[in-house]
Amino acid sequence: MTNVKVNSVAKTYGTTPVLADITTEFPEGSFTSLLGPSGSGKTTLLRIIAGFIKPDQGVVMIGNNDVTDVPVWGRNIGMMFQSYALFPHMTIAQNVAFGLERRGIKGAEARKEVDRALEMVRLPGFGDRTPKQLSGGQQQRVALARAIVIKPSVLLLDEPLSALDRRLRQEMQVELLRIQRESGLTTIFVTHDQEEALTLSDKVAILDKGRIVQIGEPETVYEKPLTRFAAEFLGDSNFLTGTVENGAVRLADGSVVKSTSALPANGSTVTLAIRPEKMAITSGDTADNSIKARITTVIYAGPVLSYHLETADGVPLKLFAQNRDGTVLKEGDEISLGWSAEHTVAVAD
Q: What is the DSSP string of 237-293?
A: -EEEEEEEETTEEEETTS-EE--SS---STT-EEEEEE-GGG-EEESSS-SSEEEEE
Average pLDDT along the chain:
92
Which contacts (CB < 8 Å, 24+ apart) does range 324-330 have?
A: 328/298, 328/300, 329/281, 329/295, 329/298, 329/305, 330/295, 330/298
Q: Residue 204's pLDDT is what?
A: 97
- Are 317 and 311 in contact by the 8 Å Cβ rule? The answer is yes
- Least confident piece of the model among 168-172, 212-216, 233-237: 168-172
E strand or H helix at 57: strand 57-62
- Give mean pLDDT, residues 46-72: 96
| Greater pLDDT, 179 or 273 | 273
pLDDT tens for each residue of 194-208: 888 998 999 999 999
pLDDT tens for each residue of 71-108: 998 999 999 887 778 999 999 999 999 989 888 899 99
Domain edges within the chain: 4-227, 236-347
pLDDT tens for each residue of 306-333: 999 999 999 999 999 988 888 889 999 9
Q: Residue 195's pLDDT is what?
A: 85
Q: Residue 190's pLDDT is what?
A: 94
pLDDT at position 240 over 90: yes
The architecture of the domain spanning 236-347 is Beta Barrel (2.40)
Q: Do domains 4-227 and 236-347 have the same CATH topology?
A: no
Q: Residue 1's pLDDT is what?
A: 66
Q: Residue 323's pLDDT is what?
A: 87
Q: Residue 324's pLDDT is what?
A: 84
HEC per residue, 179-217: HHHHHCCEEEEEECCHHHHHHHCCEEEEEECCEEEEEEC
Which residues, 6 or more positions from 288, have their beta carbon under 8 angstroms from its beta carbon? 258, 338, 339, 340, 341, 342, 344
Which residues, 6 or more positions from 53, have their beta carbon under 8 angstroms from its beta carbon? 11, 44, 47
Q: What is the DSSP string of 298-327?
A: EEE-SSEEEEEEE-TT--EEEEEEE-SS--
Q: Residue 284's pLDDT is what?
A: 65
pLDDT at position 179 over 90: no
- Are 284 and 278 in contact by the 8 Å Cβ rule? The answer is no
Q: How confident is residue 170, by pLDDT bands cut at 50, 70 and 90? A: confident
Cβ atoms < 10 Å from Cβ of 329: 16
* Superfamily for domain range 4-227: P-loop containing nucleotide triphosphate hydrolases (3.40.50.300)
pLDDT at position 211 over 70: yes
